[in-house]
Amino acid sequence: MPLTDQTAAECRDLAARYPDGRSALLPMLHVVQSEEGMINSAAIEMCADVLGLTTAEVTAVATFYTMYRQKSPGGTHHIGVCTNTLCGLLGGDAVFAALSERLDVGSGETTPDGKFTLERIECQAACTHAPVMTVDWEYFDCTTIADAIRTIEALAADEMVVATRGPAVRGWRATERTVAGIDDGLADEARCVDAIMLAGLEVAKEKGMTAPDPGKGA
Amino acid sequence: MPLTPVITAHWDDPHSYTLDSYRRHGGYTALAQALKTDPDEVIATVKESGLRGRGGAGFPTGLKWSFVPQNDGRPHYLVVNGDESEPGACKDIPIMLANPHALIEGIVITCWAIRASHAFIYIRGEVPMPIRRMQKSVAEARAAGYLGKNILGSGLDLEIVVHGGAGAYICGEETALLDSLEGRRGQPRLKPPFPAVAGLYASPTVVNNVETISSVPYIIKNGVSWYREMGTEKSPGFKVWAVSGHVTRPGIYEAPLGITMGELLDYAGGIRDGRDVKFWLPGGSSVPMLTADHLDTPMTYEAIVDAGSMLGTGTPMLFDETTSVVKAITRWLEFYRHESCGKCTPCREGTYWITGTLEKFQEGRGSQDEIEDLVEICNQIMGRSFCALGDAAATPYAPSLALFRSEWEAALTQPADEAFDPAATMIIPSMSGVGA
Ligand SMILES: Cc1cc2nc3c(=O)[nH]c(=O)nc-3n(C[C@H](O)[C@H](O)[C@H](O)COP(=O)(O)O)c2cc1C
Ligand code: SF4
Ligand code: FES
């Protein structure tokens, strides 16, 4: 998809949110990446153009961050498996290995049909929900090998797949726009407060435990 | 010590994240109260409360706010650190998902106190859900008059921008975060000047963690003496603990500082299958590991330091006897190698060397000399790096050697996966379909 005037307009809107437009560079790179599937020269030029930067300046930034793809476009769906210590040892390594075998690609690679990009990812701030997998960066918590394979098969068959704490997945490029800060209307799609997040509150209620009574202390 | 749900108290409301639910439970009353109070007095209250930063370093929050110069004629900024990328840390994103308005109310109160009219919430880019939820909540708050011009008639104008990152652990370091938020490579800045004097756009800036700021409304509403009924003199108040690993019921448990790991572990149902804890880390991978000997240590900033570790993010990870120490440490170092920003040599080269050596041990090809050499290399990095990531990378190995030397010695010849069956460490079936 070529970058359009509309993309440029969106980038300018993002820049206008900040006291200094350059602050919008990361969000802008997400937007152009969602169009191009990667950060290519057209993407770099558009950002440079909108912000009045050199392409070298924009490239230096784009290459620093792991979410920007430099070499090849990402697949329709990004599949992440957390293989940091906690998730990895508790099951993430095995989940990754199973997906890698099933999709016949290694970390960072895209299947020949362009459907999936598989990646080992770092701690996803969900260790209480280990092992953690992501599809298009939405949480697929407490996954198993069987769950992960089922998810892949459903996506391959273009079935609707819903995150555990998040909405139905829409493809990696759509998420890139969300991360850029462009409203996708999905903030209330899912509650995203699950039993694991409520574990302590449940115990407290069971045992009748509360914080001190404010009336008393004040 | 009992659990004390405060930030988490109403998360079981099916719509806990909405403005309606938040207000039904007394939300935004602290704001009305604060806006009628002199900003300096708000700072004084937070100082007296003893609230300490929940991002890892435990710096006193009120003191940090008081460093912002006043009447300097320059714009001031509040930047909320929602980068949460420390391995083991998983509390800020739940707070943003379940109780976003506590964070927003905290932001407005903080901006009143430090006289800022622009705030930013920097959320790591790999988690879209809190980004969309915070954005929606900011819009709700604006529509209700808690943001925008002349908030509740106070004269305070305030806008909040929700900003997504793009994948880089180092951007959690406050000065790297500021560079990133300015649209640059996220590399740490030389300190001083500290952000309170020259931060975002070289203007006075307060950087605080999500949990820190989310605690503020409750302190303002319920008062300092209420807050100090919980915790200790040096570590007062409540804390959102995220307990993960080989525990029966991993999850979020809110309790005062000073609760012990043993007590938290009891609430979480103990180690799975009645096993024993082998090692645990009080708050992220950047703090030294402890063992069962420290389950009775109060989880305060001071007592955990005395025990030889650090409270860090207060998100304990626990591992049972099925876990290979060699493998755990190697994996964490691979993380630091990957995340080193490359700005300074000790960290860039050091993480590369340590990790390469550790990987040999993991494969059962370590050497006796290297067991000691690694301590030396870590010492070379410690204190000589430009930022705390280098120190963090130099931290895990030595305590693991002190506690589990025999395991490192076994790794001279035996691969970690032979010494410890990976399937036994897992909490899920090791084969697809079987029993799944
Ligand atoms: C490598 C590194 C990563 C960090 N990551 C985070 C983070 O994700 N969130 C956070 O609040 N603080 C993080 N910090 C600490 C921040 O630099 C800073 O101390 C903190 O945001 C201040 O807020 P507080 O006083 O409320 O804790 C990190 C520090 C380092 C050195
Ligand atoms: S210590 Fe590491 S992360 Fe910090 S500035 Fe140096 S190279 Fe970068
Ligand atoms: S280690 Fe996987 S989410 Fe933290």
Q: Hey, are the CB atoms on B183 and A193 less than 8 Å from each other? A: no
CB contact, 8 Å: B48 with chain A? Answer: no
Residue B85: nearest ligand to its CA?
1
Q: How far is A53 from chain B (nearest CA, A)?
A: 11
The per-residue pLDDT for range A149-188, each reduced to its tens digit, is: 999 999 999 999 999 999 999 999 999 999 999 999 999 9
Same domain, B400 and B277: no
Quickly list H helices, B53-209.
61-66, 92-98, 100-114, 128-143, 174-181
Question: For chain B, what percent of residues have pLDDT higher than 70?
Answer: 99
Residue A3: the pLDDT is 86
For residue range B212-229, list pLDDT tens digits in order: 999 999 999 999 999 999
Q: Which residues of B touch A66 (CB under 8 A)?
A: 166-168
- The interface residues of chain A toward chain B in range 100-139, judged by CB-CB distance below 8 A, are 121-131, 134, 137-139
The enclosing H or E element of B320 equals: strand B317-320
Q: Could you tell me the pLDDT band of residue A2, with boundaries at 50, 70 and 90?
A: low
Pair of tokens at residue A89: 């040892």
Dihedral angle sign, alpha carbons of residues A56, A62, A63, A65: positive
Cα–Cα distance between B349 and B384 in angstroms, integer?
A: 12
The closest of A144, A85, A149 to B429, measured between CA atoms, is A144
Alpha-carbon distances, residue B416 vs A58, A89, B365 (angstroms) = 43, 12, 10
Give B-chain residues touching A91 at CB under 8 angstroms.
Answer: 426-428
pLDDT at B91 over 80: yes
Residue B285 maps to a domain: yes
Question: Contact, B245 vs A86, CB < 8 A?
Answer: yes
Residues of A in contact with B132 (CB under 8 A): 178, 183-184, 186-187
Q: Which of B101, B169, B177, B89 is nearest to B133 (CA)?
A: B101
Please report which helix (H) or strand (E) contains residue A80, including its range.
strand A77-82
Q: What is the DSSP letter of B4?
A: -
**What pLDDT score was predicted for residue B436?**
38
Q: Exposed/middle/buried for A102, CB within 10 Å: 0-12, 13-18, 19+? A: middle
Q: Are residues B120 and B190 in the same domain?
A: yes
Enter the tokens of residue B298.
């109060």
The residue of B246, B329, B428, B430 whose CB has the most chain A CBs within 10 angstroms, and thus the best one to mutate to test that interface, is B428
Of the candidates B228, B262, B283, which is a domain's last residue?
A: B228
Tens digits of residue pLDDT in B76-86:
999 999 999 99
* B77 and B220 inside one domain: yes
Residue A51 near residue A21 (C-beta atoms within 8 A): yes
Distance, in Å, from the CA atom of B182 to the CA atom of B160, rounded to the nearest integer, reads: 16
Which positions 132-191 of B are in contact with A (Cβ < 8 Å)? Answer: 132-133, 135-137, 161-169, 180-186
Mean pLDDT along residues B378-398: 96
Residue A54 φ/ψ, nearest 5 degrees: -80, 160
Cα–Cα distance between B333 and B393 in angstroms, integer? 6
Residue A2 Cα, gap to closest chain B Cα (Å): 23
What single-letter DSSP state applies at residue B9? T
Where helices occur in B382-421 by DSSP H, the ranges are 388-394, 397-410, 416-419
Distance (Å, whole) CA B93 – CA B313: 13
- Closest residue CA from atom 24 of ligand 1: B53
Interior angle at CA B245, CA B241 and CA B246, nearest 5: 125
Chain A residues lying within 8 Å of B164, measured CB to CB: 26-27, 30, 179-181
pLDDT of residue A126: 98
Number of A/B CB contacts below 8 angstroms equals 309
Q: What is the CATH number of the domain that holds B67?
A: 3.40.50.11540
Does B14 reside within a domain?
Answer: no
Tell me, yes or no, whether B96 and B34 share the same domain.
yes
Q: Is residue B2 a part of any domain in this protein?
A: no
Q: Is B293 helix (H, G, I), strand (E, B) or coil?
A: helix
Alpha-helix runs per DSSP H in B209-316: 210-222, 224-228, 261-267, 301-306
The stretch A179-207 carries a mean pLDDT of 97
CA dihedral A67, A72, A78, A79 (to 10 degrees): -100
In this predicted structure, the answer to whether residue A1 has a pLDDT above a threshold of 90 is no
Q: Does A146 touch chain B (CB under 8 A)?
A: yes
Cross-chain residue pair B87–A126, CB shorter than 8 Å: no
Give the pLDDT mean for B34-58: 98
B248 has a chain A CB within 8 A of its CB: no
Q: How far apart are CA B101 and CA B249, in angstroms?
A: 27
- Alpha carbon of B188 to ligand 2 centroid (Å): 7
pLDDT digits (tens, 9 = 90+) for B285-301: 999 999 999 999 999 99
Question: What pLDDT is attached to residue B40?
Answer: 97
**Where does the pLDDT of residue A217 fall: very low under 50, low under 70, confident under 90, or very high at 90 and above?**
very low
User: Which run of H or of E encompasses B314?
Assistant: none
For the question of whether the overall pTM of this predicted structure is more than 0.95, the answer is yes
Between CA B201 and CA B182 the distance in angstroms is: 7
SS3 assignment, position A215: helix
Pocket-forming residues, ligand 3, beta carbon under 6 Å:
A 82, 84, 86-87, 123-124, 126-127, 130, 132; B 87
User: Is the Cβ–Cβ distance between A61 and B184 less than 8 Å?
Assistant: yes
pLDDT at B130: 98
Q: Say whether residue A201 is in contact with chain B using an 8 A CB cutoff.
A: yes
Q: Find, among B30, B19, B244, the residue nearest to B143 by Cα.
A: B19
The pLDDT of residue B432: 61
- To test ligand 2's pocket by mutation, which of B180, B190, B337, B340 has the most ligand atoms within 8 angstroms of CB? B340
- Which of B228, B258, B285 marks a domain boundary? B228
Whole-number Å distance between alpha carbons of A136 and A130: 18
Each residue of A84-104: pLDDT tens digit?
999 999 999 999 999 999 999
Please check whether residues B212 and B315 belong to one and the same domain. no
Among candidates B5, B268, B341 on the partner chain, residue whose Cβ is nearest the Cβ of A201: B5
Of B199, B228, B257, the last residue of a domain is: B228
Q: Chain A within 8 Å of B230 (Cβ-Cβ)?
A: yes
Distance, in Å, from the CA atom of A126 to the CA atom of A139, rounded to the nearest integer, reads 9
Q: Answer with the residue of higher pLDDT: A1 or A36.
A: A36
pLDDT at residue number B435:
42
**Angle between helices A25-36 and A55-62 in degrees, nearest 10:** 80
* ipTM > 0.90 (yes/no): yes
Residue A84: which of B127, B201, B335 has the nearest Cβ? B335
- List residues bridging with A82 in a β-sheet: A121
Indicate whether A218 pLDDT > 60. Answer: no
Pocket test for ligand 3, best of A124, A138, A164 (most atoms within 8 A of CB): A124
For ligand 1, residues with CB inside 6 Å are B 53-57, 59, 81, 83-86, 169-170, 172-174, 207-209, 212, 387-389
Q: Which chain A residues have a beta carbon less than 8 Å from that of B341?
A: 64
And the tokens for B71? Answer: 């009447």
B312 shares a domain with B243: yes
What mean pLDDT is predicted for residues B343-370?
97
Do B217 and B265 lie in a common domain?
Answer: no
Q: What is the pLDDT of residue A216?
A: 60
Comparing alpha-carbon positions, the chain A residue that sits nearest to B92 is A125
- The count of domains in chain B is 3
Asked whether the beta carbons of A128 and B251 are under 8 A apart, the reply is: yes
CATH number at residue B268: 3.10.20.600
Nearest to B364 by CA among B427, B301, B417: B417
What average pLDDT does the segment B364-372 reach? 97
Touching check for A97 and chain B: CB below 8 Å? no
Strands (E), B185-257: 205-209, 238-245, 251-256
Contact (CB<8Å) A197/B251:
yes
Q: From ligand 1's centre to the CA of B286, what distance in Å? A: 12
Q: How far apart are CA B352 and CA B339, in angstroms?
A: 11
Q: For ligand 2, which residues put their CB under 6 angstroms from it?
A: B 170, 188, 340-344, 347-348, 385-387, 389-390
Over residues B264-272, mean pLDDT: 98
Please indicate, yes or no, whether residues B382 and B265 belong to a single structural domain of this protein: no
Six-digit token string for A50: 């909108």
pLDDT over 50 at B159, yes or no: yes
User: Do B280 and B289 form a contact (C-beta atoms < 8 A)?
Assistant: yes
Bridge-based pairing state of the strands B238-245 and B251-256: antiparallel
Record the tokens describing residue A85, joined without a space: 């210590």
Q: Are B63 and B82 in contact (CB under 8 A)?
A: no
CATH 2.60.40.2250 fits A77-189, yes or no: no
Site to probe by mutation for ligand 2, drawn from B339, B348, B351 as the one with most ligand atoms within 8 Å of Cβ, is B348
Average pLDDT, rounded, for chain B: 97
The pLDDT, as a whole number, for residue B431 is 79
Structural domain including B389 reads: 325-424
B316 contact A CB<8A: no
